Amino acid sequence: MATLDRTRIWIGLDDTDTPDSGCTTSTFDDLLKSISHLNDFQIIERRLVRLWPFAERRTRGNGALSCIIECSTDSLPEFEIAISSFFNELEDTLNSEGEIYSLTSPALIYSFEELDEEMYWEAVREKVEISDRINKLSGVNKMTLNSDWGLIGASSAMAWKPNSNSTWELISWRYPQNIGKKRKITSSVIREMESEHPETYVNRDPTKEKGLIAPRTPCPVLYGIRGASPDSVLSAHEWLQSNSEVEKCQRFAIHRTNQLSDDHVNGFFTSTVLTRPIETKGGHSTIQVMLSGESKTLVAFKEGGDVNRLLRRLIPGDRINWIGLESPDGSIHLERLRIESSVPRVIGRPTCCNNKTMRSTGLNQPLKCDFCLKIIDRYWLSEDISLSKLELTNGWVEPSPSQRRHLSRPLSLGEPTLSIL
Ligand SMILES: [Zn+2]
């Protein structure tokens, strides 16, 4: 059987970029190019994996890359030479950029076996200790520069097992002579691309008329198109590249990703609101809720838009469904929110003559109109919680697309599921 002569290899890479230069996605593409001459070389799948948003050591978006390749078994010695020399050249390239090099901690890993999926789950949901991760990687081929921090991302990207929640991102890279210049792609072209290719998503923020596919940093990425299948992102890309107003890319690649998977959170919780909202500096709001017998602080940032607006309308006794991520300080940063049931909002006493409010005649005594002297049983007027001016999806609210995490599942892709504790 021919397959006996082929070997499958998992490769992971992370932390080769700095805020101002490079992008691990293009470095990884260079790496794959440097081994593409191997006999029977084949890329099985490229993967772009987002990890725990609160990780201390991380680049913007906290993404890492991996790839499954195959090549003929007799070219394995050549593979190992090529990958080492690629890493040495990477060091030279980063060194030539001077001081900024010290901000990176590149890590390259390869393995002839699949890594334990648990490495992915801990890195997408919580803080990973580097010493712990190094222990788990004993016996795995790894190279690092500056520090070992990049090993967490690289190994977690290799350990990720795609599932039915996977999405795809086609990343295109710019010609070197264009890097640093303004990208040629308008928001109206992106809007048209989106309507022509409904299986792509999170391409723009309709609330701000702002395209989201092109980064705003001087990195080599021209744009990234997200979608439900490899075909959907490829046809959207071809459509864009055929438009004379759009900058031509030098190269592109399709990645399977955990973006929009909600893997960083564990379904939604139901809680009773304990306090009125407190508005903090900068327009953020917090409330206390009860969760598993404990009082927890829920935070809705100003940027959370409708999540913030709905949180501010809550009062003690309301029952809410929420999805959020526990931050290192113990507070929970909300990502989605829904009212399950609300207590009536007291708006005042009933009115009588001239629309004047009826007054209480004493503790537990009836109400009286000061004009016609009518007496009635005491009661309050109340109304339901107002949901006006909120963009609701089956009762849920979420931040606008530009304010959502890469990992967060948009409500348009389906209703959140209940947490399994
Ligand atoms: Zn009256």
Structural domain spans, the chain: 2-159, 167-257, 269-344+384-413, 345-383
Residue 1 has pLDDT above 80, yes or no: no
Average pLDDT over residues 126-148: 93
Ligand 1: centre distance to CA 67 (Å)? 79
Distance (Å) from CA 367 to ligand 1 centroid: 11
pLDDT at 120: 97
- What pLDDT is attached to residue 322? 98
pTM value is: 0.91
Q: Please, what CATH class does the domain formed by 167-257 belong to?
A: alpha beta
Q: Above pLDDT 70, what percent of the chain?
A: 96
Give the tens place of pLDDT for each residue, 22-72. Answer: 788 999 999 999 999 999 999 999 999 999 999 876 565 688 999 999 999
| d(CA 343, ligand 1 centre) in Å | 30
384 CA → ligand 1 middle, Å: 27
383 CA to middle of ligand 1, Å? 23
What confidence tier does 20 reach under pLDDT thresholds 50, 70, 90? low
Alpha helices by DSSP H, 138-271: 150-159, 187-196, 230-241
Does the domain at 269-344+384-413 match CATH 3.40.50.720? Answer given as no
Contact 195, 404 (CB under 8 A): no
Q: What is the CA(128)–ligand 1 centre distance, in A?
A: 69
Backbone angles phi, psi at 389, to 5 degrees: 60, 20
Give the Å distance between the CA of 344 and the centre of ligand 1: 26
Average pLDDT over residues 142-159: 93
The alpha carbon of 349 and the centre of ligand 1 are apart by a number of angstroms equal to 13
Kindly tell me the sign of the dihedral angle through the C-alpha atoms of 279, 285, 291, 294: negative
The rounded Å distance from CA 355 to ligand 1 centre is 9
Architecture of domain 2-159 in this structure: 2-Layer Sandwich (3.30)
Tell me the average pLDDT across 225-241. Answer: 97
Rounded to an integer, what distance in angstroms lies between the CA atom of residue 12 and that of residue 115? 11
Q: Quick one: CA torsion of 362, 367, 370, 371, rounded to 10 degrees?
A: -160
* CA of 299 relative to ligand 1 center, distance in Å: 46
